[in-house]
């Protein structure tokens, strides 16, 4: 039965995480404490490898139901995982990481634009690489990446379930990813996190979410689904502009995101911040499905204005 398959996947992922933790501790795979860190002690990272591992397990179990384009996506995710995990162990050049990410996103997402529209493809490439990198910074706050990912993946699962003409593969894949995030949350959504996702987890998860979002938008020809990422996107985009204005290298670690300021300057609990971000995004997503179809874009514009105002008001308090 299908639920037994998912139970088996969950058990495998949980055991894999338990096996990884002592190995990572022995190899010192972790975050060094720096002035830009959101923590004051050493933490194990790389625990998010189970996101990639879950995709591999999914590909093996459901191989007879997978479209060919999924294999290209999985190859891209594997390349990102290798580079990102290497970066977790030894610092790689930001330029090298960006080059690999750009190539992977370009090759993977090109399949959605076979009929042309390369101006849209270029926009998707820029936004995709940008979101993947921005998503990576969430990993520094206990539970933020895991809770926000669960909200986003759960919303995407609901959207895909409303498309009867879509194959069952994306829905099964999303369920598998949700299970992997839930397992990771056991170790991360704590007052004192046991481990963090690391680049290997956050970059790969950002890539998976971006892939699923682009696939949904191109299949339905409805870009209003971007509201499902708007809470974090507003924080990320405006923070990038702020750093550019300050003359900083946007590829380097920093503490300018609003949630970093709330944690590091205001002293708010990490889990409370994570629940706030995920809770606000969940409320936004629920309202999206309630309002009429012809008001989706109006809702998106109003939402952008409100979140923008909230961002700058809260930043001024800092």
pLDDT digits (tens, 9 = 90+) for 115-153: 656 677 788 888 888 889 888 877 778 889 999 999 999
75-88: pLDDT as tens digits: 999 999 999 999 88
Q: Rounded to the nearest 5 degrees, what angle is found at the Cα of 300, between the Cα atoms of 296 and 305? A: 150
Q: Does residue 77 fall inside a structural domain?
A: yes
How large is the average pLDDT for residues 42-61? Answer: 91
Q: Does residue 255 fall inside a structural domain?
A: no
Q: Does residue 254 fall inside a structural domain?
A: no
Among the ranges given (23-32, 189-198, 275-284), the one the predictor scored with the smallest mean pLDDT = 23-32
Looking at beta carbons, which pairs linking 246-252 to residues 24 or more positions away fall under 8 Å?
249/94, 251/94, 251/95, 251/97, 251/98, 251/133, 252/94
121 Cβ contact partners less than 8 Å away, ≥ 6 residues apart: 109, 110, 112, 113
Q: How many structural domains comprise the chain?
A: 1
Residue 246, pLDDT > 90, answer no
Higher pLDDT, residue 267 or 49: 49
Q: Does residue 317 fall inside a structural domain?
A: no
Query: In which domain, by residue range, is 95 found?
Result: 2-223
Among the ranges given (182-186, 249-253, 313-317), the one the predictor scored with the smallest mean pLDDT = 249-253
How large is the average pLDDT for residues 240-252? Answer: 80
Residue 33, pLDDT > 60, answer no
Residue 50 pLDDT: 96
Q: Does residue 10 fall inside a structural domain?
A: yes
How large is the average pLDDT for residues 215-235? Answer: 91
Q: Does residue 242 fall inside a structural domain?
A: no
How large is the average pLDDT for residues 160-168? Answer: 82
Please report which confidence band the pLDDT of residue 243 belongs to, taking 50, 70 and 90 as the band edges. Answer: confident
Higher pLDDT, residue 108 or 207: 207
Higher pLDDT, residue 61 or 1: 61
Residue 29 pLDDT: 80
Q: Does residue 96 fall inside a structural domain?
A: yes
The rounded mean pLDDT for the chain is: 87
Report the distance separating Cα 144 and Cα 283, nearest Å: 16
How large is the average pLDDT for residues 84-111? Answer: 87
Q: Does residue 266 fall inside a structural domain?
A: no
Report the distance separating Cα 55 and Cα 48, nearest Å: 12
Report the distance separating Cα 153 and Cα 181, nearest Å: 10
Please report which confidence band the pLDDT of residue 301 belongs to, taking 50, 70 and 90 as the band edges. Answer: very high
* Its pTM surpasses 0.85: yes
How large is the average pLDDT for residues 266-279? Answer: 92
Report the distance separating Cα 171 and Cα 213, nearest Å: 13
């Amino acid at each position: 039965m299908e639920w037994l398959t998912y139970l088996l996947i969950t058990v495998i992922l949980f055991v894999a995480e338990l096996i990884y933790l002592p190995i990572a501790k022995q190899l010192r795979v972790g975050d060094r404490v720096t002035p830009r860190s959101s923590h004051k002690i050493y933490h194990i990272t790389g625990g998010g490898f189970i996101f990639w591992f879950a995709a591999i397990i999914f590909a093996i179990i459901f191989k007879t139901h997978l479209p060919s384009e999924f294999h290209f996506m999985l190859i891209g995710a594997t390349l990102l995982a290798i580079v990102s995990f290497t970066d977790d162990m030894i610092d790689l050049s930001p330029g090298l990481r960006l080059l690999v990410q750009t190539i992977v996103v370009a090759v993977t997402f090109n399949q959605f634009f076979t009929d042309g529209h390369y101006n849209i493809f270029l926009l998707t490439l820029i936004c995709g690489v940008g979101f993947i990198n921005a998503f990576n910074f969430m990993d520094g706050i206990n539970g933020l990446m895991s809770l926000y990912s669960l909200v986003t993946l759960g919303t995407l699962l609901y959207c895909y379930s409303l498309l009867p003409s879509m194959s069952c593969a994306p829905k099964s894949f999303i369920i598998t990813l949700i299970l992997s995030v839930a397992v990771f949350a056991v170790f991360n959504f704590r007052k004192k996190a046991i481990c963090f996702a690391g680049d290997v987890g956050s970059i790969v998860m950002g890539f998976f979410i971006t892939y699923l979002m682009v696939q949904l938008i191109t299949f339905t020809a409805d870009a209003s689904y971007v509201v499902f990422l708007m809470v974090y996107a507003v924080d990320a985009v405006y923070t990038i502009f702020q750093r550019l204005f300050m003359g900083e290298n946007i590829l380097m670690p920093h503490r300018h995101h609003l949630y970093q300021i709330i944690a590091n300057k205001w002293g708010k609990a990490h889990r409370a911040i994570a629940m706030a971000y995920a809770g606000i995004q969940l409320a936004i997503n629920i309202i999206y499905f309630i309002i009429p179809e012809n008001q989706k874009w109006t809702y998106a514009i109003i939402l952008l204005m409100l979140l923008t105002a909230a961002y700058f008001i809260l930043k001024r308090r800092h």
